[in-house]
């Protein structure tokens, strides 16, 4: 890692509220402790490889057009844009949030604004760029007043997300926030009890790790260190070390 890359990693970690220790005898900062030094809570499960489908641009185009014209639930009446998803359609990492907010509705892209900037820093701390992962939401339309998604709205959108997951064939899913985690795992368990362990998603048993939503971390900076531990866990799972 170059000095420039090390400095960028340090900046990302500082944005996450993670204290960075620098050894005086080294020319560049050491951003994180060895992965083995970070404890993992929960079962250690060896995950089978997830088969990746061949890229199908026409399938993506058809799905995007279907979402753009969707009127399955009343949310379409108040939207400015549907928020389909963004990123690498062959990504190893799939990041799933809950629903678009006001800025996302305006721009038609998930995780923009302050929460999106923090998510970019979270990914950057792992050496990932936003465009190298795929980012989507449980809902494709903004709930009014940024309220929580209703069960019938989640059901109406569920096939769209399921199809995206099928087309991407991710190796790891990062469920961002309580709403996303509970709906993906079909549980009502508090997020504090869902994070720190490896779950699986769908018939493909894709490894899934839960972490806090960036908007929550902006309100509660003291939890950023836990979010960093979640990211490290997800990386270990992807690398087959968990």
- Tens-place pLDDT, residues 3-56: 556 676 776 677 676 666 555 454 444 444 433 333 444 443 444 555 565 568
Query: How high is the pLDDT of residue 13?
Result: 75
Query: How high is the pLDDT of residue 50?
Result: 52
Query: How high is the pLDDT of residue 51?
Result: 58
31 contacts 10 by C-beta, under 8 angstroms: yes
Residues 97 and 27 both lie in one domain? no
pLDDT in tens, the chain (242 residues): 555 566 767 766 776 766 665 554 544 444 444 333 334 444 434 445 555 655 689 999 999 999 999 999 999 999 999 999 999 999 999 999 999 999 999 999 999 999 999 999 999 999 999 999 999 999 999 999 999 999 999 999 999 999 999 999 999 999 999 999 999 999 999 999 999 999 999 999 999 999 999 999 999 999 999 999 999 999 999 999 76
Residues 86 and 180 both lie in one domain? yes
Query: How high is the pLDDT of residue 141?
Result: 98
Residue 20 belongs to what domain range? 1-33
Q: Which two tokens stand for residue 128?
A: 């990932």
Instruction: Examine residue 51 and state whether it is found in any structural domain, yes or no.
Output: no
What is the secondary structure of 11-33 as a DSSP string? HHHHHTT------TTSSS---S-
Query: How high is the pLDDT of residue 5?
Result: 66
Query: How high is the pLDDT of residue 200?
Result: 98
- Residues across the chain: 242
Instruction: Examine residue 49 and state whether it is found in any structural domain, yes or no.
Output: no
Query: How high is the pLDDT of residue 43?
Result: 41
Cβ-based neighbours of 27, under 8 Å, separated by 6 or more = 3
Q: How large a percentage of the chain has pLDDT more than 90?
A: 75
Residues 95 and 197 both lie in one domain? yes
Task: Quote the number of domains for the chain.
Answer: 2
Residues 226 and 164 both lie in one domain? yes
Query: How high is the pLDDT of residue 52?
Result: 62
The distance from CA 26 to its chain's CA centroid, rounded to whole angstroms, is 33
154 contacts 139 by C-beta, under 8 angstroms: yes
Q: What is the DSSP letter of 138?
A: S
How far apart CA 188 and CA 179 sit, in angstroms, is 9
Inter-residue long-range contacts of 197-202, CB under 8 Å, 24+ positions, other chains counted: 197/40, 197/41, 197/42, 197/43, 198/42, 198/43, 198/44, 198/45, 198/47, 198/233, 198/237, 198/242, 200/45, 200/47, 201/165, 201/173, 202/162, 202/165
Instruction: Examine residue 50 and state whether it is found in any structural domain, yes or no.
Output: no
Query: How high is the pLDDT of residue 29?
Result: 42
The distance from CA 219 to its chain's CA centroid, rounded to whole angstroms, is 18
Instruction: Examine residue 182 and state whether it is found in any structural domain, yes or no.
Output: yes
């Amino acid at each position: 890692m170059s000095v420039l890359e090390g400095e960028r990693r340090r900046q990302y970690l500082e944005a996450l509220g993670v204290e960075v220790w620098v050894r005086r005898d080294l020319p560049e900062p050491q951003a994180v402790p060895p992965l083995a030094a970070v404890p993992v809570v929960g079962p250690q499960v060896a995950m089978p490889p997830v088969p990746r489908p061949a890229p199908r641009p026409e399938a993506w185009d058809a799905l995007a057009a279907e979402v753009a014209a969707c009127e399955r639930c009343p949310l379409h009446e108040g939207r400015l844009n549907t928020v389909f998803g963004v990123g690498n359609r062959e990504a190893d990492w799939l990041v799933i949030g809950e629903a678009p907010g006001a800025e996302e509705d305006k721009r038609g892209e998930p995780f923009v604004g302050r929460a999106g900037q923090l998510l970019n820093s979270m990914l950057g701390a792992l050496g990932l760029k936003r465009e190298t992962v795929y980012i989507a939401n449980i809902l494709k339309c903004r709930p009014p007043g940024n309220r929580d998604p209703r069960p019938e709205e989640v059901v109406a959108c569920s096939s769209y997300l399921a199809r995206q997951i099928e087309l991407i064939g991710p190796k790891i899913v990062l469920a961002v926030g309580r709403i996303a985690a509970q709906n993906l795992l079909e549980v009502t368990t508090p997020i504090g009890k869902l994070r720190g362990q490896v779950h699986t998603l769908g018939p493909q048993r894709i490894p899934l790790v839960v972490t806090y939503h960036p908007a929550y971390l902006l309100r509660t900076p003291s939890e950023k260190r836990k979010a960093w531990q979640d990211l490290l866990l997800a990386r270990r799972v992807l690398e087959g070390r968990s």
